[in-house]
Amino acid sequence: MTTTTLAVLVPLLPFLGAVAGLLLGRTVPGLVRPLAVLPTLAALVLAVVVAVDQGGGNGNGTAALNTHTQLTPTGSVPIELALHIDGFAALVAVLVGVVATCVQIYSTGYLRDDPRYPSYAALVSLFTSAMLLVVYSGDLIVLLVGWEVMGICSYFLVGHYWETPEARAASLKAFVVTKLGDVPFLIGLFALAADAGSFRITTVLGKAASSGGLDHPTLIALLLLAGVAGKSAQFPLHTWLPDAMAGPTPVSALIHAATMVAAGVYFIARLLPVFAASQAALIVLAVMAAVTMAGSALAALAQDDIKRVLAYSTVGQLGYMTGALAVGDRDAAVFHLLTHGGFKALLFLAAGVIIHAAGTNSLSAMSRMKDLRDRVPDAFWTMTVALLALAAIPPFSGFFSKEAVLGAAEHTATGDQHGVPAVTGWIVLVAGLLTALLTAAYATRLWLLAFNGRGGEAPDHGRQPVVMNVVLWVLAIPSLALGLVTGVLPDWFDGRSLTPALTTSVLGTGVALVGGLVTYGAWRHTTAMAAIGAASGATPDATPDAVPDADPGRLLLGPLYRHAAVGFHLDGAYAALFVRPVRAAASLVQFLDRAVVDTYVRAAAETPKALGWAVRRAQTGNVQTYLSALLAGTVVLVVAVVLVATAGA
């Protein structure tokens, strides 16, 4: 088979698996798990073959794979079934395949008793197919199809436990917020195609790089950024992602590590010359990344639910990626996307093991955790590796990719990046260092509270299925070793070295160590104070109320803690600015419809009815009544004539 044929099969196989799963899942239960795992695994193998062909075969990478077939003519800008696969697209497809395969295998144990597992597995396959379509697509409209299919899949998967009001609300919120960004995104795509004269990505990039360039680069870039902010959970459209934790934990791993939120970052990386054509758009992107990084890290430091900590962590790490793109470095952004996908999937799946051990989602609250280190040893060791990668401690993978981002920001700040405003470099560099400090702090806090907590002990539901623990150790490998292959990755990228710079390496590692040590010291202090309070009878020990008093986040954030715990009241602000006015307007329309419109409609019916009743009363069929009425009328007329005559005289 040619590389083109293999590339076509990569998104096609999970799609066929999803269709077969939906059709046969209920009638042939024995096929559910093979249809979930095997097509995704086969797609992963083919994605690896394509990636090797695109970057690993000759040491310098081959030319991007481009092929296209025109659909029915539109009469204006044509739409084509096109592939555009270069080195970094091939690597992102491998990431999607690895995470999706691990999630499908993990889910066979995690959801083995779930009656809706067949539809769940099919939707995960469809989700995977849609993301792979986004990655490999060479046409913006075909990319949009995958973009929107992921949106509807996330709606169903986040709402998997639809019996609970939290899941229903979370799925609806995820759908509405992302669609809010998709409206300007769609307008931006049409404007971009009108400017370039084509939806083909290669044509668009050629137009952006030409001497004439795009006619409206700033407007187009800002419209597209709105969609990216919604899909990749960037400020101010990030609020849906923490609530999406109401879905099954494997779904959270898939969304946070390789699909949905990664799509927005990938889109900017794919069309970076379009955004780089506008310095104003780059500055807006840098500010958005900085606010997202710092704000989400502060919020993560105040969360009690382990999955919400990881959710805010994802928002912040995506901020690193968009920050790298704001300073014009696609390689650093995609490199961090790859390493983050590995350790974030591991973090969520390890959290799923913890939750599964208790048999209930109640254990996701760290204030209720106790003695988990011995009960879930596989989750303990692998989550420790992933948290070290998240905190960017060398030699774990997160160190190399995060330092690549900070190094890119440093180069731009010192004026080494041509065409990119130096101010974007300073914005990303300062925010990145602050976030590195906070990231190490909340990672340390999570580790301490989850595995050394003193909350109420949850019931022990025994050892988890073997497949769940095996997947954890598989994902621990890239979390530990992916950063060590930085000397090879340029073969798939633009050839630029990804070796960390000395200055940012020292600064980044230094602030991370400070954040971890300060958090540990705060935990020791608060734990001692909680123990003294328990001994004095102020707070009973070994209860869920003991841990919040021993939470180092409270000591570190002080009065900011209660605001950070609720996401700095953004949901409340949006409710006041948008939700309540819309509901008030809807109530007004409802009142006008019932009190005014319905009144006229009812009157139109009641008036002829009343007239008919009056006429019917007059037509009695009694001759005596008619004569009496005639006589009375005559008497009235005679009296009237006499009165008129008398008045005239």
User: What confidence tier does 148 reach under pLDDT thresholds 50, 70, 90?
Assistant: very high
The per-residue pLDDT for range 12-54, each reduced to its tens digit, is: 999 999 999 999 878 888 889 999 999 999 999 999 999 988 8
The full DSSP string for 506-549 is HHHHHHHHHHHHHHHHHHHHHHHHHHHHHHTTSS-SSSTTHHHH
439-465 confidence digits (pLDDT tens): 999 999 999 988 887 666 555 555 678
Round to whole Å and give the CA distance between 261 and 229.
9
Query: Does 626 reside within a domain?
Result: yes
Q: How far apart are CA 78 and CA 88, in angstroms?
A: 26
Burial state string for 473-499 with b = 16 or more CB within 10 A and e = fewer than 16: ebbbebbbebbeebeebbbbbeeeebe
Number of structural domains in the chain: 1
- pLDDT class for 56, splitting at 50, 70, 90? low
The model carries a pTM of 0.89
Mean per-residue pLDDT, 157-167:
91
C-beta separation of 523 from 548 below 8 A: no
Distance CA 406, CA 409 (A): 5
| Residue tagged 């390890």 (tokens) | 350
Nearest Cα residue to 356 out of 435, 467, 281, 465: 465
Confidence of residue 538 (pLDDT cuts 50, 70, 90): low
- Mean pLDDT (the chain) is 87
- 619 occurs within a structural domain: yes
Question: pLDDT (tens digit, 9 = 90+) per residue, 319-344?
Answer: 999 999 999 999 999 999 999 999 99
- Please, where are the H alpha helices in 52-86? none
Question: Residue 64's pLDDT band (boundaries 50, 70, 90)?
Answer: confident
- Check residue 540 and give its pLDDT: 45
Closest CA to 426 of 228, 519, 289, 528: 289
Exposure string of 171-183, with b = 16+ CB inside 10 Å and e = fewer, is bebbbebbebbbe
122 with 22: CB under 8 angstroms? yes
If you search the block for the tokens 């630029």, which residue do you land on? 496
Got the DSSP string for 554-584? HHHHGGGHHHHHTGGGHHHHHIIIIIHHHHH
Using the predicted structure, report yes or no on whether residue 211 has a pLDDT greater than 80: no
Phi, psi of 208 (to 5 degrees): -65, -30
Distance of CA 333 to the CA centre of its chain: 17
Instruction: Flag whether 53 is in a domain.
Output: no
> Is residue 111 one of the residues assigned to a domain?
no
Instruction: Answer whether residue 592 is part of any domain.
Output: yes
Neighbours of 91 (CB within 10 A): 23
Per the structure, the complete domain to which residue 625 belongs is given by 578-648
User: Looking at residue 455, what is its pLDDT?
Assistant: 62
List the single range of 113-127, 143-157, 442-456 with lowest mean pLDDT.
442-456
More confident residue, 373 or 408: 408
In the predicted structure, residue 347 carries a pLDDT above the cut 70: yes
- CA-based nearest residue to 480, from 347, 373, 343: 343
Residues 6+ apart with CB under 8 A from 570: 236, 239
* Backbone φ, ψ for residue 75 (5° rounding): 95, -15
What CA–CA distance (Å, rounded) separates 353 from 68?
44
Kindly state whether residue 429 falls inside one of the protein's structural domains: no
Residue 105 has pLDDT above 90, yes or no: yes
Q: What percent of the chain has pLDDT over 90?
A: 59
Contact between 218 and 278 (Cβ < 8 Å): yes
Q: Is position 597 within any domain?
A: yes
608 inside domain: yes
Cis ω before 395 (30° cut-off from 0): yes
